Structure 1
């Protein structure tokens, strides 16, 4: 079997929206732990917008997985891009709670009348991460629009 044939296919989640706010306003909403907790529904613990910073989210445990999502800031360009790892799950689980090793990237682009925000959550290995991919696809499409409400409070 070749290396290419042994690789599992992966899938990415992509969500794009335009907000009537400056990139700086959207950036603040993406990089303030308290604000992140409000729009994402999970408050990060130990979050600081600094490359190399490690932080966690907590969600519903499953099987041998304790529900902790481990993250690390991988790339950061103020008002333009935030990229971090998103790892969780346990090898003893199938379905929800199976091992997950992905990357979340937020990209901001100034456009007429506001900011285009693009989210890419990349690296879902199928079929192992099928449940996470399906659930998080729906989840991201619900939480990204909440950013407009949170961002609007500060303007």
Structure 2
């Protein structure tokens, strides 16, 4: 089984980071460094099924089916991730922890299986690293975003 974790520290309070990560209107602003991921039907409530809609590419329909599995706001959001119809789910977790001067955010994506899962994990890790290093800080730093 393959997995990855990316941890970044942001100079913003946990509540602000949580809002940017879980507000359906704000999510596309930081996920577009990949193929864009506009959530459809998302709410940070356990049991909620939703989809990320993105630009399809050869071999991928551009839809990720998800279900919120666990929420402990503003510290944890965990959901299932199915990128291909009929595929075995993998799992994403957002973990937020207050630190001096801001928030430590850890993105976990676990449960990849087989050789295809290994390659998918490597691809997603690269995309997520860019999202969390470039796009998410841009949204968090936006002065127009209410505190």
Q: After TM superposition, list the pairs within 5 Å mapping 1:5-154 onto structure 2.
A: 10-41=1-32, 42-59=37-54, 60-63=56-59, 66-90=61-85, 99-145=87-133, 146-153=135-142, 154=145
Alignment TM-score, normalising by the size of structure 1: 0.82
> Rg larger in 1 or in 2?
1
Unaligned runs of 5+ in 2: none
State the alpha-carbon separation in 2 of the partners of residues 36 and 75 from structure 1.
18
What is the aligned-residue RMSD (CA, Å)? 1.6
Segments ≥4 residues shifted beyond 6 Å: none
Alignment TM-score, normalising by the size of structure 2: 0.86
Q: CA deviation at 1:58?
A: 2.2
